[in-house]
Amino acid sequence: MEKSVPTWVDKNLYPFQSRWLNVDDFNLHYIDEGKGDTLLFVHGTPEWSFGFRDLIKDLRENYRCIALDLLGFGLSDKPRDADYTCAAHAIRLKKFIEQAGLKNFSIVANDFGGGISMSYVLAYPENIRKIILFNTWMWSLINDKHYRGPSKIVNTWLGKFLYLNLNFPVNTVMPAAYANKQKLTRAVHEQYKKALPNAAARTGAYAFAKELMNASEWWEGLWQQMDNIRDKPVLLFWGLKDKFIPAYELDKWKSKLPHAQLVIFDDAGHFVQEEKADEMIAVMREFL
């Protein structure tokens, strides 16, 4: 379906044609750029397809690059009463893939997008060519003090206020997640701020914060299926200055994916694609 693109979208930074696909009566925004083998990009929080712009500007020359905005993010619908659990996002992603007719494609995902996209990968490995992940996880976090403390605050009135009224993940968490703060320019930051403009629009972002604990059983179930992809080519990028996903989490991926290609950036934070796009592109092109 056709919808109008908001005037705040910076076409210099994000020079793509917007498209929408109706999934479960929700309009999911996505971009579909270039031709060739298909790459499907799946973001985390508080991101949207905008975060992959620099990768796609280059890779679309030789690949078909599809990047969607999960429900509640970017230019997709943001209903207040939707199911924003990771499991629900994964079901919608599966339907998006089926409705878009995607076959034999590769996944590029980070943060919450990792587990959400891997849910499909593990269920339908025959439809997946290659897997590229960065600064993400897919196992229970309940017993990890690093996550448990902040999660307790999220579930209080204060946490809800910070997320819904002060746009905490965009205004506070995002700047702290960069190693090189100069990469988060005012113009770039505005594209994240304006995508979540008010309390009503931030329900999905707040739900993800609660899922850090609530989705643990779901993630753990996926983690037990990792043998399904033991023969798949995997590329892992990792920014070591990530304050939110500690470097020790990378060891878990390595334990299950001992043959994965690993590229570590000791001077990048959580949003590797924002800080190290050129370096990632060079490696991705060789890997793909």
* Secondary structure of 132-201 in HEC code, one letter for each residue: EEECCCCCCCCCCHHHHHHHHHHCCHHHHHHHHHCCHHHHHHHHHCCCCHHHCCHHHHHHHHCCCCCHHH
The pLDDT of residue 3: 84
Segment holding 106, helix H or strand E: strand 105-110
The pLDDT of residue 52: 98
User: In b/e form, how buried is each residue of 209-227, taking b as 16+ CB within 10 angstroms?
Assistant: bbbbbbbbebbeebbeebe
The pLDDT of residue 183: 96
Question: Which residue type does 50 have?
Answer: F
Give the three-state DSSP class for 22. Answer: strand
Residues of the chain falling short of pLDDT 50? none
The pLDDT of residue 150: 84
Question: Which residue type does 238 have?
Answer: W
The pLDDT of residue 1: 53
Superfamily of domain 18-287: Alpha/Beta hydrolase fold, catalytic domain (3.40.50.1820)
Per-domain residue ranges of the chain: 18-287
pLDDT tens-digit map of 130-140 = 999 999 999 99
Parallel, antiparallel or unpaired: strands 26-33 and 18-23: antiparallel
Return the structure tokens found at 48. 């949207």
The pLDDT of residue 194: 98
